[in-house]
Each structure stands twice: as structure tokens, then as C-alpha cells.
């Protein structure tokens, strides 16, 4: 008899838990809708947990579960402590990349597989940016900023930090294209790859190689600014492949490694 009662209690617990999970997923979806509808930018504050619970008419535990779910995916950051609370997340591309690795690991994908796609996407971004310049749909200010970045690197004004500078140049191109899908996927891939290979670490490459990369950027930037799509794509692919070859030379066998969820 006693065990039947315990069994019923456990079942009740499980039903409660299932109900709460269902509610928290619904709340999570509603929070994402709220962020999207209002075009809230990363770092924007969201309602505190208690106010959210009141708004949705649910317990705080359900709201907390919803926020934790979104935090795991980088859509929400939770500031702890006094004056803390939920904010719109600022690492969604990184988290999205990490989620991708959970799926890639069992599939046996290697870092080389992943980088091949990243290279193609960079070529595509350069091609599209140049095409937009040609079609006069590109924002001239963004194009000017991209060209300025490529020259600033050469002038060595920016502490020759390849991570910051190199990524900034590639980010400028993505900004011109301004495609949420391409932008998210390419930065997610870039994040996963550089996290696991240290490809953005300037100390990995000697001065000569780094200077070559910076010259590549200037040429790519100029091709985009001229609106020469085919040339911009070709230069970008050559640049990405050269950078990959330099990485393989610096760390032989590294890109044979499987993509692991870390
Ligand atoms: Zn580059």
C-alpha cells in the first residue's frame, strides 16, 4: 500500500515537473517574441523575475527555468547580485556555435570540415557585399568603415592584435551584407573554429604572415568597394585558404581533430 502511495506521489511530481517544463518553454518563447517584436538590443534590461511571474500569472520557478533555458542559448544574460536581473543576451552567435558542436561531435565532423564551410561563407559574404556596392544597395558609411579598417591594420595603429583587427575587418563585411542568417551562421562557425584552434591568436603567425594577411584585407576591401563581386570572392577564398595553410603549418594535424562539444 505504502509503495503505491509513494508511486502516486512520484507520478504527481513528474506531472508537476512536466507541466512546469511546458509552461517554462512557453514563457521562454514569449520572451523571445518580446525581444524580437521590440527589436531589443543585447544588454537591454528585461522585466525582473518576480515581475515576469506576475505578468504571466505563474510561479517564479517556471520563470526561472525559462530564463535559464534562454541563458544557456545565449539569448538572455542573467546579472547576478544586487540590482541584477535578466538582460537581452550578447553571446547568441557563440552559444549557437556551441549548440552546433553538440550535433557535430556525434556526426564525426572534423575542424577541417567546419572550416571549409566557414571559408565558403566568407567568400559568399565578400561576393554579396561587392554585389551590393555595384547595385547601390550597400550603405556607403559601412563600406567606408570596412575600407578604413583594412588600412588601419596596415598602418599598425591598432596594436597589431590579429584577433581584434582581423575579426573586425571580416565583421565589417558581414555588416555591409546585413543578413541575419548569414551573419549568425558565419560568426557561430568562426567562434567554434577559433576557440578550438586558436586561429585568431596573433602569436601563432610570424610577422611576415601577419603582414600578408593585412595586405590581403586591403585588396579584398578595395575589390568590394569597387563592386567587383567575382574578384572579391576569389581574393577572399585565397586569403582564407592561405590563413588556413599557415595554421596547419603552425600546428600540424590540428584540423584533423574532431569537433567536440566543450
Ligand atoms: Zn582575414
Ligand 1 centroid to residue 43 C-alpha, Å: 28
162 C-alpha vs ligand 1 centroid, how far in Å? Answer: 9
Q: How far apart are CA 76 and CA 70, in angstroms?
A: 5
C-alpha span between 86 and 90 (Å, rounded):
12
Longest dimension (CA), the chain: 82
Distance 48 CA to ligand 1 centre (A): 41
Whole-model pTM: value is 0.82
- Other Cβ atoms less than 10 A from the Cβ of 256: the count is 10
Place 262 in a pLDDT band, splitting at 50, 70 and 90.
confident
CA of 96 relative to ligand 1 center, distance in Å: 22
Q: What is the mean pLDDT of the chain?
A: 89
Residue 132 or 210, more confident = 132
Asked whether residue 160 carries a pLDDT value surpassing 50, the answer given is no
pLDDT at 202: 64
Distance 217 CA to ligand 1 centre (A): 6
**Cα torsion 209, 184, 105, 119: sign:** negative
Confidence of residue 166 (pLDDT cuts 50, 70, 90): low
CA 218 to ligand 1 center in whole angstroms = 10
As a dihedral over the C-alpha atoms of residue 32, residue 36, residue 38, residue 39, rounded to 10 degrees, the angle is 130
Give the pLDDT mean for 37-44: 96
Read off φ and ψ for residue 85, nearest 5 degrees.
145, 175
Helices (H), 73-206: 92-107, 111-134, 140-155, 162-177, 180-197
Distance 214 CA to ligand 1 centre (A): 7
Distance 212 CA to ligand 1 centre (A): 10
Question: How close is the Cα of 46 to the center of ligand 1, in Å?
Answer: 36
CA–CA separation, 226 and 133 (whole Å): 7
Residue given cell 566557414 in the structure block: 118
For residue 14, the CA-to-ligand 1 centroid distance in Å is: 52
Stretch (H or E) spanning 88:
strand 85-88
- How much is the pLDDT for 205? 76
Higher pLDDT, 157 or 195: 195
Distances (CA, A) of 76 to 66, 99, 175: 10, 15, 23
How many angstroms is it from 105 CA to the middle of ligand 1?
A: 27
CA of 170 to the centre of ligand 1 (A): 6
Contact 124, 224 (CB under 8 A): no
- Reported as a single tens digit per residue, the pLDDT across 200-256 is 666 777 788 888 888 999 999 999 999 999 999 999 999 999 988 888 888 899 889
CA-CA distance, 83 to 102, in Å (whole number)? 34
**Radius of gyration (Cα) for the chain, nearest Å?**
23
CA of residue 142 to ligand 1 center, whole Å: 17
Q: Who has greater pLDDT, 34 or 10?
A: 34
- Identify the weakest region by mean pLDDT among 31-40, 118-127, 157-166: 157-166
What integer pLDDT is reported at residue 108 of this predicted model? Answer: 95
Asked if pLDDT for residue 53 goes beyond 70, the answer is yes
> 118, 261, 136: which is closest to 196 by C-alpha?
261
Q: Report CA(80)–ligand 1 centroid distance (Å).
A: 37
Task: Give me ligand 1 centre to Cα 116, in Å.
Answer: 15
Q: How far apart are CA 189 and CA 122, in angstroms?
A: 11
Distance (angstroms) between ligand 1 centre and the Cα of 242 equals: 10
Q: Which of 222, 213, 207 is nearest to 241 (CA)?
A: 213
Residue 232: phi and psi, rounded to 5, are -60, -40
CB 147 within 8 A of CB 129: no
Amino acid at each position: 500500500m505504502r509503495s503505491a502511495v509513494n508511486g502516486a506521489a512520484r507520478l504527481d511530481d513528474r506531472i508537476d515537473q512536466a507541466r512546469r517544463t511546458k509552461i517554462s518553454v512557453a514563457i521562454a518563447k514569449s520572451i523571445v517574441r518580446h525581444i524580437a517584436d521590440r527589436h531589443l538590443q543585447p544588454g537591454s534590461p528585461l522585466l525582473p523575475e518576480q515581475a515576469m511571474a506576475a505578468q504571466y500569472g505563474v510561479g517564479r520557478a517556471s520563470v526561472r527555468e525559462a530564463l535559464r533555458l534562454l541563458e544557456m542559448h545565449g539569448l538572455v544574460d542573467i546579472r547576478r547580485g544586487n540590482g541584477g536581473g535578466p538582460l537581452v543576451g550578447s553571446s547568441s552567435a557563440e552559444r549557437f556555435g556551441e549548440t552546433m558542436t553538440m550535433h557535430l561531435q556525434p556526426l564525426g565532423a572534423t575542424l577541417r570540415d567546419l572550416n571549409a564551410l566557414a571559408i565558403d561563407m566568407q567568400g559568399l559574404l565578400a561576393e554579396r557585399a561587392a554585389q551590393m556596392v555595384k547595385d547601390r544597395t550597400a550603405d556607403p558609411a559601412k563600406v567606408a568603415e570596412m575600407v578604413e579598417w583594412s588600412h588601419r591594420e596596415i598602418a599598425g595603429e591598432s596594436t597589431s592584435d590579429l584577433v581584434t583587427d582581423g575579426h573586425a575587418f571580416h565583421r565589417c563585411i558581414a555588416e555591409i551584407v546585413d543578413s541575419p542568417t548569414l551573419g549568425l551562421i558565419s560568426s557561430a562557425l568562426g567562434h567554434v573554429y577559433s576557440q578550438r584552434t586558436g586561429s585568431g591568436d596573433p602569436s601563432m603567425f610570424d610577422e611576415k604572415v601577419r603582414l600578408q594577411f593585412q595586405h590581403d584585407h586591403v585588396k579584398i576591401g578595395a575589390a568590394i568597394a569597387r563592386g567587383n563581386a567575382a574578384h572579391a570572392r576569389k581574393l577572399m577564398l585565397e586569403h582564407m585558404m592561405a590563413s588556413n595553410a599557415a595554421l596547419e603549418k603552425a600546428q600540424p594535424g590540428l584540423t584533423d581533430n574532431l569537433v567536440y562539444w566543450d
